[in-house]
Structure 1
Amino acid sequence: MPHTAPRYLAEGPRVGIRSFTPDDAAEFTARARQSRDLHRPWLFPPDTEEGYAAYARPLIEDPARAGFLVCEKHDGAIAGFININNIVRGGFQCGALGYGAFAHAAGRGLMREGLDLVINHAFGPLGLHRLEINVQPGNAASIALARGAGFRLEGFSPAMLHVDGAWRDHERWALTAEMRPAGRPPRTTG
């Protein structure tokens, strides 16, 4: 897929992060369709252009959300996405992360590098103090990503989130700015 990627907000050795745009619909939804087996039963990213428009609009327009596409620097291909949802300002300065890799990028360490970039951006330019990740206990890849980025397990929430037609249990993982050295460079594998 040809790319004319917008400027990255932050870059690591192999990936850059950038905001969602309406023009990303075709590539994002094609990759979501190609990644169904990887995502199910944990994640259901939009796989139609109409679904993408409804999904991306708040990530672009709502100040309580920030959406980032993780893109491979060598060709601009979208490797995955990381969103900060439910941003609360004031004394809290917190947001909840949600993320997903696309199948062609899974297992290559690209999301790990992208997550480090998003964390640095959240604790830097966005001015957040705390990030949380809620993960279904059986989602080993997501838990490994959270743990590897320095998040700590804080608890368990029964029937926390409605996913795939049922209320699902989630583990709560968190990271604060004090837990992370300032400007920590992205870790890479491979």
Structure 2
Amino acid sequence: MPERNLLARTDRTAIRRTRREDEARWLEAVRASRELHHPWLRLPDTPEGFQRWMDRFDGSGAAGFTVCAPGSGELLGFVNINNIVHGGFRCGALGYGAFAAGAGRGHLTEGVGLVVRHAFGPLGLHRLEANIQPGNAASIALVRRTGFRLEGFSPDFLHIDGAWRDHERWAITSEMPLGTDATGR
């Protein structure tokens, strides 16, 4: 993968914008990761679903990032900033997931850290929130490592896999230190 496509990187993890040309590789990664994601999230696994997914990233209300290996470009996960609001709020909602190729190896923690830095830098945001189902221990551990703080509980917050699911609300602001596991050096 040409380095010019990368927005940021560590020695072993990089982020870049998710592109429509990623469709075949992205769908393959989603299918290989189905058990990893269930029951926490459901990702598009058809060409039509991927194109609808990509339609959200219009440049102002949402931004999609692929977490990949520098050099090879292997897809390791994704991070999205959804519901971006500028003005006095300057906030977005973070969504993320590892793909099987990157699961359990710290790539998603590094990728989330890189996206947080990008959000607080070039995107000009002040706050990011991550809403996580209480039983999703891996996701809660990831946001803790990244430097997010627990702010609250939202019952029946999101409709996932046929039911309304409770979520914990975690947040980080541009003034807070980024966790060292998330490239906070």
TM bin (shorter chain): over 0.9
Q: Which moved more, 1:47-56 or 1:169-178?
A: 47-56
| Aligned residues between the structures | 183
Matched, 1:63 2:43: no
Q: Which residue is 2:173 aligned to?
A: 176
- Report if aligned partners of 1:14, 1:74 keep a CA contact under 8 Å in 2: no
What are the Cα deviations for residues 51-84 of structure 1, in whole angstroms up to 9, with x where unaligned?
A: 111101222x241101100011131111000000
- Structure 2 residue 86 is the aligned partner of structure 1 residue 92: no
Is the 2:177–2:184 Cα contact (8 Å) retained in structure 1? Answer: no
* d(CA) in 2 for partners of 1:49, 1:4: 25
Q: Which amino acid letter does the alignment assign opposite residue 48 of structure 2?
A: E
Does the 8 A contact of 2:13 with 2:111 survive in 1? Answer: yes
Residue 111 (structure 1) aligned with residue 108 (structure 2): yes
Deviations 1:122-173 (A, max 9, x none): 0001010000000000001110101110000000000011111110000000
The correspondence of residues 155-174 of structure 1 with structure 2, limited to 5 A, is 155-174=152-171
Tell me the CA shift for residue 4 of structure 1: 6.2
Residue in structure 2 matching 1:35, options 28, 33, 36: 33
1:12-23 correspondence runs (5 A):
12-23=10-21
Q: Which residue of 2 aligns with 1:51?
A: 49
Distance in 1 separating the partners of 2:4 and 2:167: 35
Name the CA shift for 1:140/1:22 in 2 (closer, same or farther; >3 Å): same
Counterparts of 1:176 and 1:21, CA distance in 2: 28
Which 5+ residue runs of structure 2 have no aligned equivalent? none
Residues 22 and 6 of structure 1: is their aligned pair in 2 closer, same or farther, counting only changes over 3 Å? farther
Superposition TM-score, scaled by structure 1 size:
0.91
Give the whole-Å Cα distance in 1 for the aligned partners of 2:77 and 2:113. Answer: 13
TM-score by length of 2: 0.94
**4+ runs deviating over 2 angstroms:** 3-6
Alpha-carbon separation, structure 2, partners of 1:64 and 1:88: 7
- Secondary structure (helix, strand or coil) at the match of 2:56 reads helix
How high is the sequence identity, in percent, across the aligned residues? 57
Partner of 1:131: 128
CA distance in 1, matches of 2:52, 2:130: 23
Q: d(CA) in 1 for partners of 2:2 and 2:86?
A: 34
CA RMSD of aligned residues (A): 1.8
Cα deviation per residue 1:8-44 (whole Å; 9 max; x = unaligned)? 0111111111111110000000010011110000011
In structure 1, how many angstroms separate the alpha carbons of the residues matched to 2:184 and 2:28? 28
C-alpha distance in structure 1 between counterparts of 2:182 and 2:28, whole Å: 31
Does the aligned pair in 2 maintain the 1:6–1:18 contact within 8 Å? no
Distance of 1:147 and 1:18 partners within structure 2: 23
